[in-house]
């Protein structure tokens, strides 16, 4: 369920969502996202060991390396940096809000 930032908080405190529960929700989502690359590396290593025993070291190494590469790509492209401050970046435009 998505709650607008300026809407009343669903916890019933009477405060705006952005001032009440949104920081905690954002931190929980960030913690959940940080576990995904670790799971990818772990599954890649486990699959690499399984393939190493069944198909040989070369195939197992390639499978494990693929898991690590996918984890690095998820880390690199999963959470983009915030926009720069200043007037030269269209993403940083302030429309008087």
Domain encompassing residue 68: 17-78
| pLDDT confidence tier of residue 22, bands split at 50, 70 and 90 | confident
Residue 84, domain member (yes or no): no
Residue 22, domain member (yes or no): yes
Residue 89, domain member (yes or no): no
At 88 the pLDDT is 61
What's the pLDDT tens digit per position in 3-20?
777 788 888 888 887 788
Separation CA 59–CA 11 (nearest Å): 52
Residue 62, domain member (yes or no): yes
Residue 86, domain member (yes or no): no
Residue 5, domain member (yes or no): no
How many domains does the structure of the chain reveal? 1
Residue 54, domain member (yes or no): yes
With a CB cutoff of 8 Å and minimum separation 6, the contacts of 34 are none
SS3 letters across 33-74: HHHHHHHHHHHHHHHHHHHHHHHCHHHHHHHHHHHHHHHHHH
What's the pLDDT tens digit per position in 52-93?
889 988 988 888 888 888 888 887 777 666 655 555 656 666
Residue 65, domain member (yes or no): yes
């Amino acid at each position: 369920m998505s709650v607008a930032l300026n809407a009343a908080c669903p916890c019933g405190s009477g405060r705006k969502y952005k001032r009440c529960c949104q920081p905690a929700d954002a931190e929980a989502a960030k913690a959940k996202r940080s576990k995904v690359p670790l799971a990818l590396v772990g599954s890649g290593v486990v699959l690499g060991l399984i393939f190493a025993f069944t198909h040989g070291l070369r195939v197992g190494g390639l499978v494990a390396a693929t898991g690590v590469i996918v984890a690095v790509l998820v880390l690199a492209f999963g959470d983009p940096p915030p926009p720069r401050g200043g007037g030269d970046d269209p993403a940083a435009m302030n429309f008087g809000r």
